[in-house]
Structure 1
Amino acid sequence: MRVKKISALVLVAAVAGLSLTACGSGDGTSAAADTSASTSASTNANDSAGGERSGSKLSATNQSQTQTTKSDSVCKTDNLAFTAAASGIKNEIVVDIKNNGANTCSMRGFAGVQLVGPDGLGDTGPDAARTDTTGSTVTIASGEETQFLLHYIPDTSGNGKTYTRLSVTPPNETVSEIVDLDGVNITVAPDSGNSPDVFVDPVGYHTGSGK
């Protein structure tokens, strides 16, 4: 009975071994399938993670480009404040332009300037001619300022007209702003269509850190 019992156990073990061998047979197809599935899942997971990382980088790059474009936008009249006063040099006015906007902006070239009398917009004088000075791009952060100079030849004939304000249009803008001359009167000869008596320098006499 003892021998038969041992033989039965050996038989059971043998059968189990054959069963396991049968399950693992077929040139490893089942194991290969399992390995392939595992590898595919891992690859898909890595691709997904890589796509997310790539998408994040693209998103960050696009956001940076948008911010750069926004900060380098042309200064608009609505976001600017203007003041004018005597510069301390004879027959010269300094016009100050302050960026009251929330973002950095830039401008380059000449402002449009027209003399305005005390009676309002209908009482206008000659447009300022541009000097031969070359201007450069001026970048103005929020709260910073830039300036330009206005020069004029005063009338000595006694027939000139007096102006107390300026109409200023920033470079590359179409909207103007009326600026008081802070008590300064400009008296020039009537515009005859010949050589002008009022000249403007380009924007760029800068007082902020964004020169």
Structure 2
Amino acid sequence: MTAKLNRAVRCTAAVLAAVAIGAGATACDSSGDSSSKAAGSHSDTALNLSSSGKQGGSQDKAGSDNAGTDNAGSGNAGSDKAGTQESSGTPARTTAQQGSRTDAVNPVSTTSTTSRCHTNELGYTWGGPHGGRPDMNTTYQQQVTIRLTNKSTHTCTLRGYPGVQLVSTTGETWDLLRSSDMPSTLTLKPGDDTAMVSMSILPAQKNDPDVKPFVPAQILLTPPNETTHATLAWPYGGAILDQSGASRPGTFVNPVGIG
């Protein structure tokens, strides 16, 4: 009887030990899964952070590239890689829109062909609202303007960019690129002279050995969406920095605006 009781006690102890061991193993497995899940979660988080960082880097780079494209060419002819500020304190220069067209065609225009101001219906005179002249003895960016007068007997409208071609004293030509300004529609009654073509120019000194000067003699001006031009003699003398081969030159034309 005593032997049987001892065997039963031993068997019970063995069962309890086995149960305890099984529970411990289950606990360990559960802990391992939790750790694994936690590690996976951290890995996913790290991946997300890495992706976010990469995206941010791309944005930073894009921002840097965009800022870089605003630099005006102030060095040798055809160069558009230069700082936006001279060491002498020259104000930042604006530049033409990269890849902009040079003709008088404006694809998005609300001006009808019947009401549009035609080339032979307009008068062309130099000078802005205050009759100012550009300083051709400086290297600072200057503004030149041509006032447009409706000489017809009917009301007409202008909208968009004109085509502007510079002709040098040696016969070279330079078709000006456009700025990034948004055009607006101008309505001219007979005799109105409130429309104006403005151009930003970057003068150059003729005797500067480091630059190629473009010495203008004439300007051929084609009003927006017209196919014929008016010819005006250049009245200001001096020279313009030749950036005819640059993608973002400091000499360019703006849309027709109010003068």
Query: Is this contact kept in 1: 2:204–2:241, CA < 8 A?
Result: yes
3-state DSSP class of the match of 2:204? Answer: coil
Query: Is this contact kept in 2: 1:77–1:173, CA < 8 A?
Result: yes
Which residue in the other structure is 1:81 paired with?
123
Query: How far apart in 1 are the matches of 2:166 and 2:175?
Result: 7
Do residues 117 (structure 1) and 168 (structure 2) align? yes
Query: Is this contact kept in 2: 1:164–1:183, CA < 8 A?
Result: no
Please tell me the residue identity of whatever aligns with 1:201: N
Please tell me the residue identity of whatever aligns with 1:203: V
Do residues 136 (structure 1) and 184 (structure 2) align? yes
3-state DSSP class of the match of 1:142? Answer: coil
Do residues 96 (structure 1) and 147 (structure 2) align? yes
Query: How far apart in 2 are the matches of 1:124 and 1:143?
Result: 35
3-state DSSP class of the match of 1:78? Answer: helix
Which of these residues, 170, 174, 179, is aligned with residue 223 of structure 2? 170
The structure with the largest alpha-carbon Rg is 1
Query: Is this contact kept in 2: 1:166–1:178, CA < 8 A?
Result: yes
Q: Deviations over 1:165-211 (max 9, x none)?
A: 211000010101111232344422252344324211110123xxxxx
Q: CA deviation at 1:88?
A: 4.4
Q: CA deviation at 1:114?
A: 0.9
Please tell me the residue identity of whatever aligns with 1:153: L
Structure with greater helix share of residues: 1
Divergent runs of 4+, >6 A: none
Root-mean-square deviation (Å): 2.6
Query: Is this contact kept in 2: 1:164–1:185, CA < 8 A?
Result: no
Please tell me the residue identity of whatever aligns with 1:182: P
Query: How far apart in 2 are the matches of 1:81 and 1:124?
Result: 26
Query: Is this contact kept in 1: 2:243–2:249, CA < 8 A?
Result: no
Gap change, CA 1:204 and 1:107, over 3 Å in 2: same
Do residues 148 (structure 1) and 190 (structure 2) align? no
Q: CA deviation at 1:135?
A: 1.1
Q: Gaps (5+ residues) in structure 2?
A: 1-110, 136-141
Query: How far apart in 1 are the matches of 2:116 and 2:221?
Result: 16
Query: How far apart in 2 are the matches of 1:116 and 1:168?
Result: 11
Q: Deviations over 1:31-78 (max 9, x none)?
A: xxxxxxxxxxxxxxxxxxxxxxxxxxxxxxxxxxxxxx99x7100001
Q: Deviations over 1:118-152 (max 9, x none)?
A: 46xxx242211111111100001111111121011
Do residues 179 (structure 1) and 232 (structure 2) align? yes
Sequence identity percentage: 26
How many positions carry a matched residue from both structures?
Answer: 135
Query: Is this contact kept in 2: 1:84–1:181, CA < 8 A?
Result: no
Do residues 126 (structure 1) and 174 (structure 2) align? yes
Q: Gaps (5+ residues) in structure 1?
A: 1-68, 207-211
Q: CA deviation at 1:160?
A: 1.4
Structure with greater strand share of residues: 1
3-state DSSP class of the match of 2:120? Answer: helix
Query: How far apart in 2 are the matches of 1:186 and 1:102?
Result: 39
Please tell me the residue identity of whatever aligns with 2:158: M
Gap change, CA 1:96 and 1:185, over 3 Å in 2: farther
Gap change, CA 1:190 and 1:89, over 3 Å in 2: closer
Query: Is this contact kept in 2: 1:154–1:189, CA < 8 A?
Result: no
